[in-house]
Amino acid sequence: MSRLFQFVRQWKPIIKEGFSQSFLIAKFLCLLHVTNTHVCTPVLVYGPSMLPTLNLTGDVVLVEHLSQKFGKVGPRHVVVVRSPENPRKTVTKRIVAVEGESVTFLVEPALSDRSHTVVVPRGHVWIQGDNIYSSRDSRQFGPVPYGLILGKAFWRVWPPDGFGSL
């Protein structure tokens, strides 16, 4: 019995130290999560739909979430949006119109000149890629609810020669 007490007395400070270090790591991870979800996070975006603003091969941009939470995201902002066709994917496009505005767009710009006009319903936004010839956006899946917007991309971090605001 006394052997057990001796054992515990020997390891007690180490166990205490272990708990306090784990708590510190847990606190750091919580801070990381809160910053990534509610403040600002880097995102890798790739694809041809936002040429020439964003590169085909991939750019790392900083996306901030505070504008979306306060409702300050508006036209001409580049936003990261949860795709309405597949909730596990995120797409990066530019907001062209907000609720109440009417949008005129070319249905198939490569094939014909036919255009269509739509009024954006309440609580939704109309997003389009800068490269309308190669972009799957609101012209295909319709206006997107404002709540699906994850954040506004405001600064490019990589590649280094593109470092600066968008």
Partner 1 sequence: MGTRNFLWNSAKKFFTIGLIGLTVSDRYFSIVPVRGYSMSPTFNPQISSSTGSLTDDRVLVEKFCLEKYKFSCGDVVVFCSPSNHREMHIKRITALPGDWISTPHSYDAIVVPKGHCWVEGDNSVFSLDSRSFGPDCKVQTILEDIEDLKKNYFESCLFLFVPRTANSCSHAMAQFAVKSVRMIEWEGAFPFWLSELARKDMGVVTPFCN
Which stretch, 9-17, 29-37, 51-59, 126-134, contacts partner 1 (CB under 8 A)?
29-37
In single-letter form, the type of residue at position 91 comes to V
When asked if residue 34 is in the footprint of partner 1 (CB under 8 A), the reply is: yes
- Look at residues 120, 43, 32 and name the one whose alpha carbon lies nearest to residue 81: 43
Q: Min. distance of Cβ 85 from partner 1 in angstroms?
A: 4
Nearest in space to 147 (alpha carbons), one of 78, 88, 69: 69
49 annotated active-site: yes
Residue choice 83, 90, 131, 134 for contact with partner 1 (CB under 8 A): 83
Six token digits for residue 14: 């180490």
Torsion angle, alpha carbons of 153, 155, 37, 101, to 10: -20
Q: List the one residue out of 117, 114, 94, 95 whose CA is nearest residue 104.
A: 117
Annotation marks residue 93 as catalytic: yes
Distances (CA, A) of 59 to 2, 44, 52, 125: 63, 6, 12, 24
What is the closest distance, in whole angstroms, from the C-beta atom of residue 7 to partner 1 in the complex? 32
Q: Of 145 and 162, which has the nearer Cβ to partner 1?
A: 145
Among 40, 98, 103, 146, binds partner 1 (CB under 8 A): 146
Query: Quick check: 26 binds partner 1 (CB under 8 A)?
Result: yes
Q: Which of 12, 16, 22, 49 is catalytic?
A: 49
Does 66 bind partner 1 (CB under 8 A)? Our answer is: no
Tell me phi and psi for residue 124, to 5 degrees.
Answer: -120, 165
Residues 102-121 that bind partner 1 (CB under 8 A): 121
Tell me the two tokens of residue 68. Answer: 């979306």
Nearer to partner 1, 55 or 83 (CB): 83
Q: Which residues bind partner 1 (CB under 8 A)?
A: 26-27, 29-31, 33-34, 37-38, 83-88, 121-124, 145-147
Positions annotated as catalytic residues are 49, 93
